[in-house]
Amino acid sequence: MEIRDPIHGFIHLNDAEKKLIDAEPFQRLRNIKQLGLTCYIYPGATHTRFEHSLGVMHVTTQIVRSILNKHDRKDLAEYLGIVNAEHLEARLKTTTRLAALFHDLRHPPFSHSSESLLKIEHEEYSAEIIETYYDELLKPFDRTVSVEDLSFLITKGKRRLGGDSLMSLIQEIISGEIDADRMDYLLRDSHYTGVAYGNFDYNRLVETLTITPKLDRETNGESTDELVEIFGDELISE
């Protein structure tokens, strides 16, 4: 299945993902405006959390693809300190996509303005919906994603302690300093409000994202040689 999005073009979904989106909790997001009451000032700002969530899922997919194009799977496992890397690629792709898809699952109306009325943060509600309503629908993703991991990522670790280095990487992709959530809403909000200051070179940013392994921080030839071996002369020169 494919969805035509005005920001990213075609967003592709498999049959199992389509069932997650067709379910009532996600369809509810069609009625939650991304910018709350902003449409009374900027009439075009009627876009919703539904399309934003699909957009974030698409952006995370592009980021993961960029990372996997740059790094050998064994090197990636080594950087992350993962011993059993058998399902690393599948787990990275699927868990990132679904965590992105569900990141605003229980977002309240009127954007963030009404969050103070909630007893707990909306991420906590999202985790509860995943753990109850979506438990059965997530079974086709067995071995590549778990309800526990999704809850951990959406609540940023508040739902349970721990989380391996792969979860830390996925967390950075979804809600880090340069994350998929921010990339999508900047482009989307700019488009629908008709302002330009949220536009940026999205393709360049995604293509240049990479994982930097832990290296000796001292300035010496060995560290430089190690960087060149990993990333190549051209990237280090830049």
Query: The domain containing residue 97 runs over which residues?
Result: 2-213
User: What CATH number corresponds to the domain at position 175?
Assistant: 1.10.3210.10
d(CA 167, CA 173): 10
> Which candidate, 134, 126, 213, places its Cα nearest to that of 169?
213
Regions of the chain short of the pLDDT cut 50: 161, 216-219, 234-238
Q: Residue 173: inside a domain, yes or no? A: yes
Number of structural domains in the chain:
1
Is 233 within the bounds of a domain?
no
Look at residue 74 in the predicted model and tell me its pLDDT: 84
Would 238 be classed as within a structural domain?
no
12 assigned to some structural domain:
yes
Q: What is the pLDDT of residue 227?
A: 55
Average pLDDT along the chain: 84
Q: How far is CA 193 from CA 34, 42, 76, 84, 183, in A?
A: 11, 6, 40, 47, 16
CA atoms within 13 A on the CB side of 32: 22
* Domain membership flag for residue 232: no
Answer yes or no: is 20 within a domain: yes
176 within domain boundaries: yes
pLDDT at 44: 96
Structure tokens at 177: 């300093």
126-148 per-position pLDDT tens digit: 888 998 999 899 999 988 898 98
In the numeric block, the tokens 């009439």 are attached to 43
Task: Give the per-residue pLDDT at 166.
Answer: 87
228 in a structural domain: no
